[in-house]
């Protein structure tokens, strides 16, 4: 099948009380691993690329890999551009086949965030592309996005309601205490805030910073309305550690097919665990 917009899968997830795992992938092998995991789990899948990955691989290459995967897969797959501040790059990704994009204007005042998001929503609507936006500021480090803990700002439930009404955005990523990267301690998620936002906002909510959140916290967030969970850092660490282990065992190894096989297996294992955590296993049947 072709790549699909994530709007329908995320709407269903919120309505039925589960979450779609969305994975940031940076290589063909990472992409193949999470697709294999989704097929084994019979789970809907969102592939994601950061702006840095798009610049590294090229939007057309990334879209082509995802299209090939979707064409041979038996589960629905969406391709999402994560945390983008550049309208021109968003337009390019939509042109080459991305089915979901994130316009992140959360660093700007509310009115400017609304205006920039609304422009992207208008463009995306012509191509049946999902649009995600952020309110508040999620802390931590992901790709070239760096927000110090002191600068992280939690989303205001009233503003979330107004933002969705003014922009018509398909999905909303409110800052609720999670962070990009791996957590140094127990995540301090504001579950009361998630519930207040979910009551006011009808669109699916997105949980950023899904690497390292304990199972019970994920389940609680999903029960309150989170329909998509982003996973990036854990995949990178698992992928890299598997390759390091190959070279630790055999420093003279020089066949990428050998160490990439181990790396793929590690990523697939992590992806399956996250899908189980999100409750989306079997939801593609």
* C-alpha distances out from residue 86 to 83, 103, 139, 184, Å: 9, 8, 20, 31
Is 233 assigned to a binding site? yes
Is 80 assigned to a binding site? no
Is 181 assigned to a binding site? yes
**Inter-residue contact 5 to 78 (CB < 8 Å):** yes
Is 38 assigned to a binding site? no
Is 134 assigned to a binding site? yes
Is 282 assigned to a binding site? no
Helix boundaries (H) for 154-255:
157-167, 191-200, 215-223, 233-249
Give me the catalytic one of 82, 151, 241, 255: 82
Phi and psi at residue 227, in whole multiples of 5°? -115, -5
- Across the chain, the runs of DSSP E, i.e. the strands, are 20-24, 45-49, 77-84, 100-103, 130-135, 139-142, 145-147, 171-174, 179-180, 205-207, 226-231
The CA distance from 92 to 24, in Å, is: 19
**Inter-residue contact 265 to 238 (CB < 8 Å):** no
Is 284 assigned to a binding site? no
Is 185 assigned to a binding site? no
Is 211 assigned to a binding site? yes
Catalytic-residue membership of 82 = yes
* C-alpha distances out from residue 276 to 21, 68, 270, Å: 9, 25, 10
Q: Which of 205, 275, 204, 230 is nearest to 80 (CA)?
A: 230
The DSSP bridge pattern shows strands 179-180 and 205-207 to be unpaired
Instruction: List the end-to-end C-alpha distance of the chain, in Å, as a whole number.
Output: 14
Is 201 assigned to a binding site? no
The CA distance from 22 to 130, in Å, is: 14
The CA distance from 79 to 97, in Å, is: 8
Binding residues for dihydroxyacetone phosphate, as ranges, are 181, 209-211, 230-233
Catalytic residue annotation = 82
Binding residues for Zn(2+), as ranges, are 83, 104, 134, 180, 208
Binding residues, as ranges, are 83, 104, 134, 180-181, 208-211, 230-233
């Amino acid at each position: 099948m072709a790549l699909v917009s994530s709007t329908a899968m995320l709407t269903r997830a919120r309505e039925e009380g589960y979450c779609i795992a969305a994975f940031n992938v940076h290589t063909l092998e990472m992409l193949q691993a999470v697709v294999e995991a989704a097929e084994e789990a019979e789970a809907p899948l969102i592939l994601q690329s950061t702006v840095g990955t798009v610049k590294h691989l090229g939007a057309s290459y990334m879209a082509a890999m995802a299209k090939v995967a979707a064409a041979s897969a038996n589960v629905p797959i969406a391709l999402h551009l994560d945390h983008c501040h550049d309208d021109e790059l968003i337009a390019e990704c939509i042109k080459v086949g991305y089915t979901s994009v994130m316009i992140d204007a959360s660093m700007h005042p509310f009115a400017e965030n609304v205006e920039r998001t609304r422009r992207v929503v208008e463009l995306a609507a012509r191509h049946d592309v999902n649009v995600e936006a952020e309110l508040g500021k999620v802390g931590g480090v992901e790709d070239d996005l760096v927000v110090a803990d002191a600068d992280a700002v939690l989303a205001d439930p009233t503003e979330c309601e107004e933002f969705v009404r003014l922009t018509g955005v398909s999905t909303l990523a409110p800052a609720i205490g999670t962070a990009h990267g791996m957590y140094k301690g127990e995540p301090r998620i504001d579950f009361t805030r998630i519930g207040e936002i979910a009551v006011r906002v009808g669109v699916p909510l997105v949980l950023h910073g899904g690497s390292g959140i304990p199972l019970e916290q994920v389940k609680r967030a999903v029960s309150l309305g989170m329909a998509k969970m982003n996973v990036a850092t854990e995949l990178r660490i698992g992928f890299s550690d598997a390759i390091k282990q190959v070279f630790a065992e055999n420093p003279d190894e020089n066949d990428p097919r050998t160490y990439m096989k181990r790396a793929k297996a590690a990523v697939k294992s992590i992806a399956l665990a996250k899908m189980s955590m999100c409750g989306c296993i079997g939801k593609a049947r």
